[in-house]
């Protein structure tokens, strides 16, 4: 009998799982090792919660401390929606 080939395609890792290199400003928060975008987002949010940088009256607003201000292009506060765009600007393909 002929050998049966598997029709299952190998799982493709999407762009979210490709390791990206953080620049110096972002590395101060998430570390210098290349990380998938999902892990970068998780570490940024861990940092925000750990340092209590969410506005207590409006949890969608993030207040910047010195390290985060460098990532937020000098802004004192941003919304959580702006945060993702600004963080992505500090990542480059490994």
CATH number of 17-93: 1.10.245.10
CB 68 within 8 A of CB 14: no
Query: What is the tens place of the pLDDT at every residue in 31-77?
Result: 999 999 999 999 999 999 999 999 999 999 999 999 999 999 999 99
Name the residue with tokens 């049966």: 4
Pairing mode of beta strands 19-22, 77-79: unpaired
B/e letters for 53-82, b = 16+ CB within 10 Å, e = fewer, are bbeeeeeebbbbeeebebbbeeeeebeeeb
| All structural domains of the chain with their residue ranges | 17-93
What's the pTM value of the predicted model, to 2 decimals? 0.81
> Given CA atoms 79, 82, 86, 88 in this order, what sign does their dihedral have?
positive
């Amino acid at each position: 009998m002929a050998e049966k080939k598997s029709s299952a395609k190998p799982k493709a890792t999407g762009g979210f799982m490709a390791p990206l290199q953080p620049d110096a400003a972002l590395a101060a928060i998430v570390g210098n090792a290349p990380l998938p975008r999902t892990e970068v987002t998780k570490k940024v949010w861990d940092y925000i919660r750990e340092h209590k940088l969410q506005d207590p009256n409006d949890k969608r607003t993030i207040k910047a401390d010195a390290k985060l201000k460098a990532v937020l292009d000098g802004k004192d506060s941003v919304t959580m929606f702006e945060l993702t765009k600004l963080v992505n600007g500090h990542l480059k393909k490994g």
